Each structure stands twice: as C-alpha cells, then as structure tokens.
C-alpha cells in the first residue's frame, strides 16, 4: 500500500508539474479536467506519465527528481499529443512509448546543463520528431483534425479565458477543463493562480489588436503559452510581474507568427520567450555588477 501511495504521488506530481505545481492533488484536478474533455486523452496522459517516469527510473536518474515529477510532465504532454495528432492504433501506441521515453532522455540532457532550463522543450522536440517520422514514413497514422473550432465571429471572452488555460494540455473543447486546471493550481499556490489568470487574459487584447481570427481566440490558442510564461516568471515583486507580462506578450506574438507559417507550435512560444527574458535578465545583472 505504501508503494502504491508513493507511486500515485509521483504520477500526480508529474501531471501537476506541467503547470509548475509540485503537488499530487493539483495533478489530480488537472487529470480530472482532461477526463472531462476526453477519457481517451486522460488515459494517454497517464500512460505517457508512467512510461517517462519508468524510463527515468530504469535509466538511473536521481530519485528526488523522479519523486517530484520532473521526468513525468513531458511524458504526460506527449501522451496527450498522441491522442491529438495521431489516430489511435497499435502504431500510435508504439509511438507513444518511443516519444515518452525520448522526452525523458532529452529532459535529462537539459538537467545536466545550467545554461537554460528545459521546461517543456523535451516534449516539443519529442513530438516534433514523432510528427516528422509519421509524415515521412507512416502518414496514415496522422489524424485529420483534433479539435472543434467555433466559427462564430463574436469573441467569447470567458471561453477564450478558460480554453486558454485548458489548451496548455490540448483541452480545447470544454471550459470545465480549464477551470479544473485553475483549481488545481489554486490548491497549491494562490500566487501561481493569479499569474495563470494574468497569462490567460493578457493575450486577448493583443490578439484583438493584431486582428487575429476570432476562431483561434475563442479556441484558447492565444492564451496557453502566456499561462505558462506567467507562472514560470511570476514572483512576488512588481518587477517579476513586468517580466512575466513581457514574456506573455512575446509568446503571443510568436504563437501568431508560428501559426501564420503553418508551424505546429505546441508550447515552443512559451519556451522561447522565457529563454529570451531569462537571457535579458542575465545581461542586465552582468552589467549592474
């Protein structure tokens, strides 16, 4: 029973760490949010989490990192991505195993260096690799469409806000997913929940200003990178808030640019924008010293 309890804690933290919450209860609420949208994606999320965590265990990586879910969250995202981009079959499940394990090995590489944090880069690289292989060798595995797009011309601000949070884990078909994610974050950190709200709201006026199609805005595709940026850089000082806001806006611009170029952006705008802000901060600190 103790083993099962510890295993559930590790898996829960692995889901919670997708949104920087080292809390199994937070992860549970996020998993509930995924199941509310799609039970298949919920199962795939758990499978990706387990595979990436076991890969870290059998690779001999640090137990504390495994315990805190640091090798589980990229696999969680990979598992969901399989349900999003591939048709469910034996072939796609094989891809799930390979890509989840690969995300763990890439995460270990990032953990071994101190130049830049990995964040969700292992997930991005693993899924881009998976999609590249499928497009080149087994295109029949690729899914035609993965989400329902609201074609209304009016902006639904509440929907855009909720789905902007939900799309962090590809949950763009029900506002309940985003609300569950927000509750999960609030359970662990009120500060992080406030930054989540900031990250989901701030991209909306910028997207309107840049005349982004309302279908993308209502689908939450403008907000999810901003949510991750705000949580990642958010702190207790006003300077932290300014840096977080700058990162949110930059990620929104990168998302719009990537989509216009036909790129499957995933969370790359978040990772790139936070890397840029961290490098700017480092340069400023160096000059001040």
- pLDDT tens column, 208-258: 999 999 999 999 999 999 999 999 999 889 999 999 999 999 999 999 999
Q: Which CATH architecture has domain 157-288?
A: Orthogonal Bundle (1.10)
Residue 126 main-chain phi, psi, to 5 deg: -65, -45
Which CATH superfamily, name and number, covers 1-141? Ammonium transporter AmtB like domains (1.10.3430.10)
Within 187-257, strands assigned E span none
Question: Is 145 a residue whose pLDDT tops 80?
Answer: no
**Other Cβ atoms closer than 10 A to 210:** 12
Contacts of residue 19, defined as CB under 8 A and 6 or more positions apart, other chains included, come to 26, 30, 168, 181, 184, 185, 192, 196, 227, 228, 231
Cite the DSSP H helix spans in 59-174. 63-67, 73-85, 90-111, 121-137, 157-166
Give the rounded percent of residues in the chain with a pLDDT score beyond 70.
97
Residue whose tokens read 């006003």: 238
Residue closest to 83 by CA, chosen among 26, 142, 139: 142
Does pTM top 0.85 for this prediction?
yes
86 has which bridge partners?
142
CATH 1.10.3430.10 in the chain is located at: 1-141, 157-288
| Cβ atoms of 203 and 248 closer than 8 Å | yes
Tokens of 78: 């990979």
């Amino acid at each position: 029973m103790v083993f099962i309890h510890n295993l559930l804690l590790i898996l829960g933290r692995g889901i919670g760490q997708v949104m920087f919450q080292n809390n199994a209860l937070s992860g549970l609420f996020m998993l509930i949010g995924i199941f509310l949208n799609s039970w298949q994606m919920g199962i795939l999320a758990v499978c990706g989490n387990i595979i990436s965590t076991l890969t870290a265990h059998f690779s001999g990586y640090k137990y504390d990192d495994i315990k805190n879910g640091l090798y589980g969250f990229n696999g969680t995202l990979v598992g969901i991505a399989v349900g999003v981009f591939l048709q469910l079959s034996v072939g796609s499940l094989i891809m799930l195993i390979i890509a989840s394990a690969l995300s763990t090995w890439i995460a270990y590489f990032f953990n071994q260096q101190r130049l830049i944090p990995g964040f969700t880069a292992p997930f991005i690289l693993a899924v881009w690799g998976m999609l590249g292989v499928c497009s080149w060798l087994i295109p029949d595995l690729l899914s035609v469409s993965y989400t329902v797009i609201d074609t209304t011309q009016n902006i639904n601000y509440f929907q855009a806000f909720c789905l902007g949070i939900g799309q962090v884990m590809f949950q763009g078909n029900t506002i309940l997913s985003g609300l569950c994610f927000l509750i999960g974050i609030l359970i662990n950190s009120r500060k992080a929940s406030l930054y989540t709200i900031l990250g989901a709201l701030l991209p909306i006026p910028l997207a309107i200003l840049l005349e982004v199609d309302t279908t993308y805005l209502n689908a939450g595709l403008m907000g999810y990178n901003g949510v991750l940026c705000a949580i990642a850089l958010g702190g207790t000082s006003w300077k932290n808030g300014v840096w977080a806001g700058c990162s949110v806006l930059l990620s929104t611009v990168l998302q719009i640019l990537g989509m216009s170029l036909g790129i499957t952006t995933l969370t790359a705008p978040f990772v790139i924008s936070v890397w840029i802000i961290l490098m700017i901060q480092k340069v400023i600190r160096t000059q001040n010293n």
